[in-house]
Amino acid sequence: MRNFITRDIAVFLSFLFFGVAILYSIFNINVVQGINAVYTSTYIVPNFVTAVLFDWRAFDTLGECLILVTSVMVTGMVFGRGMYNTDFLKSIFYENVDTANDTNKNVDSIDLGFTSIIKVITMPLSIIIMVLGIITILAGHITPGGGFQGGALIAVAYILGIVGYGITSPLCFTHHFLEKLETYGALFFMIMGALGMFVSGYYLLNISVLNGIPLFPSPESMGSVGLIPYLNIAVGFKVLAGLSSITLLLSTKKIFINADLKNSKF
């Protein structure tokens, strides 16, 4: 009982803190008139969306990544081992309820996915969406795309696999893998920002040339894009891992303690 109270207090304080911070930011916002003209007149990449996102809103992008981290943490604290009762799912996918409730049967061997038709459609569609997400991330500096959009697409492919196949989906990402991917994405983003500060004294400054030497070469037709493609990759890792982690936490089987086991010595 004490653990539940501690968890509820932590979740309440988290929502209270971020809620107050968001309300304070909204009521104290100061928008300069004509800022779009500044955006479009000084961009250094052939894409207004990417120019605004990273040339002018890099700190905001970093803040959004931190908000995603908070969302994953709150989801893990609230739902823990998942929110689905596997006994209920087994009673849906199996006509023989007695067989579904057989405690001696290995739960991992039970298929809680949909029909074969849905599975046949789900896997090719998931692969196509995942490839589209990778292209969106890598071409984010020359198209209206980027790390957020591409990462979300890859996460959708992962979620679609879970919907069709359950937690035994062929496109399965382990929780430890997602933790590492999210950590590496955030660290890479911050390291790229520190590189700009090391060269010029400004954090997250988009640099492309150091003493006449191009740090991040790119084709002449694309212009000097600098750090932006690498920031897109870092954000893509972060968003992919964050959304997939939330889905994994919600779809993992939940452990229910029977009343007759509560008073046992185990």
Confidence of residue 9 (pLDDT cuts 50, 70, 90): confident
State the residue for tokens 């809103």.
Answer: 57
Query: Which is more confidently placed, 9 or 97?
Result: 9
Burial class (CB in 10 A: 0-12, 13-18, 19+), 41: exposed
Asked if 207 contacts 118 with a C-beta cutoff of 8 angstroms, the reply is no
Q: Which two tokens mark 190?
A: 């911050």
Write the burial class of residue 215 (CB in 10 Å: 0-12 exposed, 13-18 middle, 19+ buried).
middle
Fill in the DSSP letter of residue 113: S
pLDDT score at 252: 65
Residue with tokens 């492919």: 157
Contact 236, 147 (CB under 8 A): yes
153 pLDDT tier (thresholds 50, 70, 90):
very high
* pLDDT, tens digit (0-9, with 9 covering 90-100), for 160-184: 888 887 766 777 777 788 888 888 8
Residue 57's identity, in one-letter code, is R
Sign, CA torsion 99/101/104/110: positive
Is this structure's pTM higher than 0.85? no
- Give the model confidence (pLDDT) of 102-131 as tens digits: 444 454 455 555 677 777 888 888 889 999
Instruction: Give the model confidence (pLDDT) of 216-256 as tens digits.
Output: 666 665 556 677 888 889 989 999 998 888 888 777 654 44
